[in-house]
Amino acid sequence: MGGPANYNAPEVVARSYEDALEGALGVWSPAELWVGVVSMDRRVVEWFQARGIGAHFHFTNEFEAGYCAALEDWGLLVLAGTGSFVHARTRDGSELHLGGFGPVLGDEGSAYDAGLRGIRAALRSMWPGARATTLTQAIPAALGWETPWDLVWPFQMRQIGRRDVASLSPVVDEEARGGDAVALEVLREAAAALAEIIGVALDAAGLRGAGCPLIGTGGLAQGSPLYWSMLAEQALRIDATLQPMVPPVRPAVGAAFSAMRAAGVPVTCDLRDRVVETQRAFARAVVALPSV
């Protein structure tokens, strides 16, 4: 598993690609390989060329990777990772994409959204008459500070970035699972923001009442059963015929499935089951939060 590739310096992105490739192939050096990619740096091509590997690159996108991970061809694909979006696809192939505007203009219900709401809750917990919350200690501690006030200036000076804020979503999740009422509310409000977009997508795509899959992907949706249960519950209030599901593999595996299909290899439930069994050896990487 590689490191971050979005919103990072070129050298960080390059190292992330190299770590992912080296981790995936190790000492194995096949003569030919199909590679499923969502985005790619030129150094990926150079990496394969330097090793004499004939790579066939199959480009896909985040929502197609999500559909492939779920072994579905239609429905609502809801990504809740560092960022967020909702993608609708009908049985006849018509598509609609909502969200993905980034942390300032959008990313409702994302890991960033949950982390930011957690910071706000921690700060407001120090106001007179405010409800006590374990986030007051847990949020600053996760970033190496002592009090919520310590976060204000670094945040304003952009020393605390998008990835840092998104990394707080597991903290909010942990405190919520521990029974903290404020943390539970933070997760519920984040889920409600994304559920609102789900409702818009259902109506705009003509899928309300169609019994379509509701596929959750991304680090927050796939890494927090509590968050996903909240989001699914609110979505079902909008349309009780939805079929919520969380793929047992990440979108990166979905991108690989997409490449396999392009290469003429059938992607079956049995194949996915074998991938799930294999990835258990890398459980720490699979459950890491957040993900794009």
Residue partners of 138: CB distance under 8 A and separation at least 6: 122, 171, 174, 175
Q: Does residue 95 share a domain with residue 193?
A: yes
Q: Does residue 101 share a domain with residue 46?
A: no
Query: Quick one: pLDDT band at residue 190, thresholds 50, 70, 90?
Result: very high
Q: Does residue 214 share a domain with residue 125?
A: yes
Q: Does residue 190 share a domain with residue 106?
A: yes
Q: Does residue 214 share a domain with residue 105?
A: yes
Tens of pLDDT, residues 137-155: 999 999 999 999 999 999 9
Q: Does residue 240 share a domain with residue 112?
A: yes
Query: Quick one: pLDDT band at residue 69, thresholds 50, 70, 90?
Result: confident
The answer to whether the CB of 223 falls within 8 A of the CB of 288 is yes
Q: Does residue 145 share a domain with residue 271?
A: no
Whether 292 maps to a domain, the answer reads no
Check pLDDT > 80 for residue 203.
Answer: yes
| Residues in the chain, overall count | 292
Q: Does residue 214 share a domain with residue 265?
A: no
- Give CA angle at 25 (23, 26), nearest 5°: 70
Whether 47 maps to a domain, the answer reads yes
Check pLDDT > 60 for residue 6.
Answer: no
Whether 203 maps to a domain, the answer reads yes
Query: Quick one: pLDDT band at residue 61, thresholds 50, 70, 90?
Result: confident
Residue 159 backbone dihedrals phi, psi, to 5 degrees: -80, -20
Q: What is the pTM of this model?
A: 0.80
Q: Does residue 184 share a domain with residue 117?
A: yes
Whether 68 maps to a domain, the answer reads no
Tens of pLDDT, residues 240-284: 999 999 998 887 788 888 888 877 888 888 888 888 887 777 654
Q: Does residue 262 share a domain with residue 206?
A: no
Report the candidate in 54, 3, 53 with the shortest Cα–Cα distance to residue 28: 53
Whether 69 maps to a domain, the answer reads no
Q: Does residue 16 share a domain with residue 79?
A: no
Whether 18 maps to a domain, the answer reads yes
Q: Does residue 101 share a domain with residue 40?
A: no
Domain around 117: 74-247
Tens of pLDDT, residues 10-49: 666 667 667 667 666 666 667 666 666 666 566 777 777 7
- Overall number of domains in the chain: 2
Q: How much is the average pLDDT of 55-77?
A: 84
Check pLDDT > 60 for residue 132.
Answer: yes
Whether 2 maps to a domain, the answer reads no
Q: How much is the average pLDDT of 219-224?
A: 93
Q: What is the CATH number of the domain that holds 224?
A: 3.30.420.40
